[in-house]
Structure 1
Amino acid sequence: MSISKLSPSPVDSAKPKINWARVDEADNFANTVKLYRQGKYDEDSFRRFRLQHGAYGTRMTSDYAMVRVKLPAGEIYPKQFETLSRLSEQYSIGSAHFSTRENIQLHWVVLEDVSEIFRSLAEVGLTSREACGNSVRNVMCSPLSGVCSDEKFDSTPYALATAKFFLRNPMAQSLPRKFKFNFTCCEKHGMVRMVDVGLIPEIQQINGSEQKGFKIFLGGGLGNRSFVGHQLEDFTPEEDLLYTSIAVMRIFDRLGDRKNLARNRMRYLVNDMGWEKFQNLVLKERAIVRATQSVVTKLKVDTTPDNITRPLKISDESGGPVPDGYARWLKTNTIKQKQSDYRSVFITLEAGDITSNQLNSMANLIREFSSEGKARTGFVQNVALRYVHEDDLVPLYSKLLETGLAKSGGLTMSAPVGCSGTTSCNLALTNSHRLAKEIQRKFLELKLDDDDDLTDSSIKISGCPNSCAQHGIATIGFFGGGGRLGKDMYPNYQMLLGGRFDADTTLGQTCLRVPAKRVIPVILKIIEMFKENKKSGDTLKSWIHRIVNDSEDSNIKSIGDIKKVLEPLVVPPSKDDDPDFYLDYGSDTSYHTKTGKGECAA
């Protein structure tokens, strides 16, 4: 990879390598909406069509949609940011939302306007095709792939090639349920054991030469019932990547439960069949695929190195004072790359939300500070600006302050993940989205992002048991529900402890139900317990891990001990004593559970 400090960059130094769009899909969608409005297209068929094109239903109405734009491998370029900025202002609510699966979502779009969004996305090479529905969803890749000091090689080209192969591929258009790929850089920076197919790059010495390949994990997934994936074999050579992917998908397509929508993800098939039997089926099917596929059926992996060119600065900005908060931001939002003198900067959002003005600012920040000319989205609703030269960090921070994007704590527990919750989702029971923001604001106020003991922990909050915010693999996870005292209902969360998504991937254990307005005091009490009982070198994550594995010997030895300390905090007061307790965050009306028809399995 060539690194030049002298040559000036063009306005956009990098262009997308792949055009994901098809303009004709916009016309087709517009015509189908007309037929649906005229009663010539039945509702169930239209729902499947709409979802296949990435337009998800909006809470309690059929007149609006959420458009989910795919960012394969998390890559996004300046002109794409500018287009999304304009679309969010013109057709949505003046903001957009980054999901945990490297998509960006435009909410509350009038159904008739969806096709106009598709046309504009096509102009910059983006699509929402198969971002929803029973197909291969957005193919993810760690935002640190290519810059991680622990990776064997960059898996980004393989993620892009996989996404390209399966997009609009007939074999992936009518699966029993959605199907997900995650590529990562190393054990630490990905969630490969919690998806249908997870891949970690590996290199082995074979016959005296280096062979690229992957460790592949199958059958993981989060939801109402979650499972940790299994490793297929010690090493899968890169030439077997596509054959393995096709084999797994064929088995799922044939044997997945199409009748019981609650149990038709691949993880249930693996669990019901048993891992050894499923593993043998995959290996046998792969041999058949390898023997019968055409020689032209292959992944088109483009490993051409990106041109890394430090943007030319018109004026010297290094002479001014360092802004307040810079040291804290540098510590909690940046990571040193394996490339000397460069850092990856993680821009913190509140529960994935970004305004149209900030989207536009991101385009300019990439042009001015990223030596690779693009950004990457991550697994925790943030945006990574990579290849930022260390000499440019102070000027970048100053620009982030101007745009409201300089929040610290992006790589710490102080940046909780929160799904959209009752702000737009038909299945949500609580406003998890707003709760995540409230926690973030409180933690930053208390400067907990600067606490080294909390850096590697996580908080993830879903508005229902379906785990869009990945609560099952959080250090402290929550999913929403309702509680009742007499006739009065209040928003409530089930709390789980001890989840993690690294080499020791573990599902969180149930602790107790926590009313929404007591979540922050409960988390702070857990931190207080940790501080009182920790050993030298402990973090909150390692301390809770020992507790859930029955290997802690302090005064707090079990989940039951934690529950006993917390129970006085979660006792509901009467409505007369504390009426605010009975309101959800962001609402001034009485709480009640109300859901619509979910579309995850439509």
Structure 2
Amino acid sequence: MAIQLTDNVSPAARRDILDLEQKISSFRAGDIADEAFRKFRLTRGVYGQRQPGVQMIRIKLPHGRITADQLVRIADLSDKYATGNLHATTRQDIQLHFVKLADSPQLWAELEDAGITLKEACGNTVRNVTGSARAGIDPLEPFDITAHAYHIFDYFLRNPICQDMGRKFKISLSSSEKDSAYGYMHDVGLVARIQDGKRGFKVMLGGGLGAQPFSAQTAYEFLEEDRVIPFIEGVIRVFDRYGERQKRHKARMKYLLNDIGLDELLRRVEAETPALKNKTVEVNDLPASVGELYPDRSEVSNYQPNVGPASSENPRFTTWFRTNVFEQKQPGWYAVQLRVLLGDMHSDTARALAAIVKQYAADDIRVTVNQGYLLRFIRPEDLPAVFEALDALGLANPGFDTTADITTCPGTDTCNLAISSSYGITRALESMMHDEFPDLVFNDDIKIKISGCMNGCGQHSVANIGYHGSSLKNGAYVLPALQVLLGGGFNGKGEGLIADKVIKIPAKRGPDSLRYLLRDFEANAFDGEYYSDYYARQGKNYFYQLLKPLADLKTLVDSDYIDWDHTEQYVTEVGVGECASVLIDLVATTLTEAAEKLGWAREALAEGRWADALYHAYNVFITGARAALMSHDMPTNTQHGIVSDFDKTFVGSPSQGEPGFHRAEGDFKHLVFSINKEEPSAEFATRFLAQADAFLQTVQAHREKQLEREGAPELQELTQAQDS
């Protein structure tokens, strides 16, 4: 059945959707290698699940912002194509699970009709741009960062410089010095500041989580706002050129920064300046496509409440108001925060929530980094009615973003990489705290975060108390385990810290571990002491000894061999791949990829997008050179390394009866890296593209002669790799 596309779908999105449909058809016919298809679909937000034959669809919501109608559209599509569940993530996305691969193009088309995209939600791209959910209403903010988040999102969406990076790239914007968007764990973290009357940002670089978490380094204490996007572009161009591409676990920008140092990285970024599409980018307001964020502005500025927040005799309302509601910077207006267990919301609940928003709030819902939702511009007299309506939906639980509100990833419920259950232990911990530590709904100093593995989707490394899924061996048996991490998050000085791994314990002892930690803190912490400061004062060994009895495997019982939310004995396993391995000619596949990039370069040139044409042409050189090196069984890695190796290997002297590609060593490098020596222009783009075209033709001819001489190549086996 043909994809149904409405007039609301942009030409760029239309082509993406039809391309996805065509690639799915080719993949099913066996014409595309599994690994190549995996790489393709990930950049379209289609992610393989643990369960065979179904996908997770990640919906990219810049800054976590969504309208009521968009929420309804996602809920309806979850009913139609998924399970009726909407999962909010720590990157302010919404995910749908158990979607058939064949349904993903039409699902995408129906999202684009409502102004929502999947493009670059996964894969080695610039991922969703996250930001403080309170932006625009935050009493502590120097200015509203919402427009900046949208402009950064728009600037890098479908941008040639970030379509084929070695790894993903993450950007966040925090509205105040509290760094509520966790800039210190991002590739680029921005914190809003005003200096000498000018708006700008503190800029942090090279943060990241995973098996080896790094805190970001400060590149600028203050960078004027119109220079931020060009600076990020320069950083991405450097990361694309010099970043690791073979050793996946070393391919994040944090490792490049660690290898070459901040000064050298900034020098290389500066060297990219001539090639930048824009030297400055003004951010004065939201893109026209976004629409209005607030109620009528005169209504906001002129509103004078006759009374303060309406009271209620219901003690649950009082607790909810204390923990989930705050007054905005706009006098007399209030915001309401929704605590959502596991980040999961049923489609019926989402539609009912949208109706509440339309009746009582601004059409501006924000998904929060702790997997909740924030509603804005609510009149104080409406708060009791809002509470009652939310309470009927199960969305008025107190304790938003407190100790009792745990952040978690889906774990083994759906993820290929997860080792143990995240959802099950989260329920167990929240239940224990509700029963034994009820006052924790008022404590917003201790954050608990859980991931199903070390990769950190639940952000356990920046928690005061964190857990990630693992396993333990006891003789011939394996049991589910939790790695306990302590001391991350923010300390009393507002500094962002990375947690220490302290001890690994059986997963079923997770509630006991948290019980020990909370009771110890209650008994021994100084009055007003932050948990991470308390951890630093006591030291890692103190907590290791505190929890050591829980790690004793001599006291195991039968239930310890069964994971949370399961009844069968635990076994470690990797999720099932989506299909069998295939045999392909890797060089031919790479040359086809280069030809495709040449087509993109020609299209950009025809449309007058000189900078885009130049970067696509640059990638033709890189991909063609990689194919030539592969044809001689030479390993390839960074783009810079590919150019250098090609320059040395294919220099002018005849090789096996064929002429070289260039006369002297250094010629090829000089040609390719001339991309950042001139301003983007029609003349330069036309010349550079013609040179890339001629180069690719030469590589293709070289390969044809090689095959005539040596015969058909030995086909290479490619099998399913893990998504991330």
Q: TM-score, normalization: structure 2?
A: 0.73
Q: How does 1:60-71 map to 2 (within 5 A)?
A: 60-61=51-52, 63-71=53-61
Q: Distance in 2 between matches of 1:53 and 1:299?
A: 29
Q: Are 2:279 and 1:288 aligned?
A: no
Q: Distance in 2 between matches of 1:243 and 1:533?
A: 49
Deviation at 1:425, TM superposition (A): 0.7
Match of 2:211 among 213, 221, 224: 224
Which SS does the other structure have where 2:21 is aligned? helix
Corresponding position of 1:333:
324
8 Å contact from structure 1 (residues 201, 213) kept in 2 = yes
Letter in 2 for 1:460: K
Q: 1:529 to 1:227 in 2, by over 3 A?
A: same
Deviations 1:231-283 (A, max 9, x none): 1122111121121011101110110011211100000100111223223333x
Q: How does 1:461-476 map to 2 (within 5 A)?
A: 461-476=450-465
Corresponding position of 1:547:
535
Deviation at 1:19, TM superposition (A): 7.8
Letter in 2 for 1:493: L
8 Å contact from structure 2 (residues 310, 380) kept in 1 = no
Match of 1:582 among 552, 555, 561: 561
Q: Distance in 2 between matches of 1:149 and 1:254?
A: 41
8 Å contact from structure 1 (residues 135, 178) kept in 2 = yes
Deviation at 1:485, TM superposition (A): 2.2
Corresponding position of 1:560:
541
Which SS does the other structure have where 1:102 is aligned? coil
Letter in 1 for 2:535: I
Q: Are 2:260 and 1:269 aligned?
A: no
Q: 1:294 to 1:507 in 2, by over 3 A?
A: closer
Corresponding position of 2:590:
none
Q: Are 2:550 and 1:569 aligned?
A: yes
Letter in 1 for 2:334: R
Q: Distance in 2 between matches of 1:272 and 1:20?
A: 41
Q: Are 2:121 and 1:138 aligned?
A: no
Deviation at 1:331, TM superposition (A): 1.7
Which SS does the other structure have where 1:405 is aligned? coil
Match of 2:499 among 496, 505, 508: 508
Q: Distance in 2 between matches of 1:546 and 1:273?
A: 35
Q: How does 1:281-320 map to 2 (within 5 A)?
A: 281-282=268-269, 284-285=270-271, 287-289=273-275, 293=277, 298=281, 301-303=284-286, 306-309=293-296
Q: 1:381 to 1:574 in 2, by over 3 A?
A: same
Match of 1:438 among 428, 448, 453: 428
8 Å contact from structure 1 (residues 412, 449) kept in 2 = no
Q: 1:281 to 1:31 in 2, by over 3 A?
A: closer
Corresponding position of 2:335:
344
Deviation at 1:110, TM superposition (A): 1.0
Which SS does the other structure have where 1:234 is aligned? strand
8 Å contact from structure 1 (residues 165, 299) kept in 2 = no
Corresponding position of 2:364:
374
Q: Distance in 2 between matches of 1:49 and 1:57?
A: 12
Corresponding position of 1:591:
570
Letter in 2 for 1:591: Y
Corresponding position of 1:414:
404
Letter in 2 for 1:248: V
Q: Distance in 1 between matches of 2:574 and 2:11?
A: 34
Letter in 2 for 1:33: I
Q: 1:240 to 1:600 in 2, by over 3 A?
A: farther
Q: 1:307 to 1:427 in 2, by over 3 A?
A: closer
Q: Distance in 2 between matches of 1:54 and 1:175?
A: 16
Which SS does the other structure have where 1:183 is aligned? strand
Deviation at 1:501, TM superposition (A): 4.7
Letter in 2 for 1:588: T
Q: How does 1:203-242 map to 2 (within 5 A)?
A: 203-205=194-196, 210-242=197-229
Deviations 1:13-35 (A, max 9, x none): xxxx9989823433322222122
Q: Distance in 1 between matches of 2:10 and 2:421?
A: 36
Deviations 1:557-599 (A, max 9, x none): 3221222222223334666xx3222111111111011014786
What are structure 2's unaligned runs of at least 5 residues? Answer: 1-7, 304-308, 578-719
Q: How does 1:46-65 map to 2 (within 5 A)?
A: 46-61=37-52, 63-65=53-55
Q: Are 2:380 and 1:390 aligned?
A: yes
Q: 1:123 to 1:30 in 2, by over 3 A?
A: same
Q: How does 1:19-168 map to 2 (within 5 A)?
A: 22-61=13-52, 63-168=53-158
Corresponding position of 1:11:
none
8 Å contact from structure 1 (residues 242, 299) kept in 2 = no
8 Å contact from structure 1 (residues 419, 463) kept in 2 = yes
Letter in 1 for 2:225: E
Q: Distance in 2 between matches of 1:59 and 1:449?
A: 38
8 Å contact from structure 2 (residues 230, 278) kept in 1 = no
Which SS does the other structure have where 2:221 is aligned? coil
Q: Distance in 2 between matches of 1:362 and 1:20?
A: 32
Letter in 2 for 1:85: A
Deviations 1:518-559 (A, max 9, x none): 111111111111111122223xxx1442432xxx3xxxx322
Q: 1:287 to 1:162 in 2, by over 3 A?
A: same
8 Å contact from structure 2 (residues 412, 421) kept in 1 = yes
Q: Distance in 2 between matches of 1:20 and 1:240?
A: 30
Q: Distance in 2 between matches of 1:301 and 1:28?
A: 35
Deviation at 1:451, TM superposition (A): 5.6
Which SS does the other structure have where 1:332 is aligned? helix
Corresponding position of 2:168:
178
Deviation at 1:429, TM superposition (A): 0.2
Letter in 2 for 1:216: V
Match of 1:531 among 522, 527, 543: 522
Q: Are 2:446 and 1:457 aligned?
A: yes
Deviation at 1:175, TM superposition (A): 1.0
Q: 1:24 to 1:445 in 2, by over 3 A?
A: farther
Which SS does the other structure have where 1:440 is aligned? helix
Match of 1:517 among 508, 528, 546: 508
Q: 1:236 to 1:20 in 2, by over 3 A?
A: farther
Q: TM-score, normalization: structure 1?
A: 0.88
Q: 1:601 to 1:357 in 2, by over 3 A?
A: closer
Deviations 1:337-373 (A, max 9, x none): 2122222211111111111111111211211221x21
Corresponding position of 2:643:
none
Letter in 2 for 1:379: V
Corresponding position of 2:631:
none
Q: Distance in 2 between matches of 1:20 and 1:351?
A: 36
Corresponding position of 1:363:
354
Q: Distance in 2 between matches of 1:254 and 1:451?
A: 47
Deviation at 1:204, TM superposition (A): 1.4
Q: 1:21 to 1:383 in 2, by over 3 A?
A: farther
Which SS does the other structure have where 1:368 is aligned? helix
Which SS does the other structure have where 1:198 is aligned? strand
Corresponding position of 1:252:
239
**Bigger Rg over Cα:** 2
Corresponding position of 2:702:
none
Higher RCO (Cα < 8 Å, 6 or more apart): 1
Q: Distance in 1 between matches of 2:569 and 2:72?
A: 40
Deviation at 1:484, TM superposition (A): 2.3
Q: 1:19 to 1:351 in 2, by over 3 A?
A: farther
In angstroms, what is the RMSD of aligned CA positions? 2.5
Corresponding position of 1:14:
none
Q: How many residues align?
A: 558
